[in-house]
Amino acid sequence: MDLENLDNVAASEITPEQIRAILAQIDLDIMNLVREGKLSALKYGVSGPSGMHTDRAANMQALLLARDHYQKLLSQHPAWQTTQAAL
């Protein structure tokens, strides 16, 4: 069932590890798209009776924009954290 609004949706902040996993999946999708592999993120075909078709360039652009977005999110997290031991 589709949501009608986001009023009852809750989530925790995405972690750097989750962002890295998303980036890895996007990179894999880009590589498969470029190589026209069987595991490509989107299957391509000739326009059929339903008139559905895909545009490889548009899909690549969408993947690159998504990658840029998640890379910026990752850059917002601190690269390292310091702690202080109690003496």
Q: How confident is the model at residue 42 (pLDDT cuts 50, 70, 90)?
A: low
3 state DSSP class of 21: helix
**Angle 64-17-63 from CA coordinates, rounded to 5°:** 10
pLDDT of residue 58: 81
The mean pLDDT of the chain is 80
How many Å apart are CA 71 and CA 4, to the nearest integer?
Answer: 30
- Residues 13-29 have pLDDT tens digits of 889 999 999 999 999 98
Contacts of 3 (CB under 8 A, 6+ apart): 9
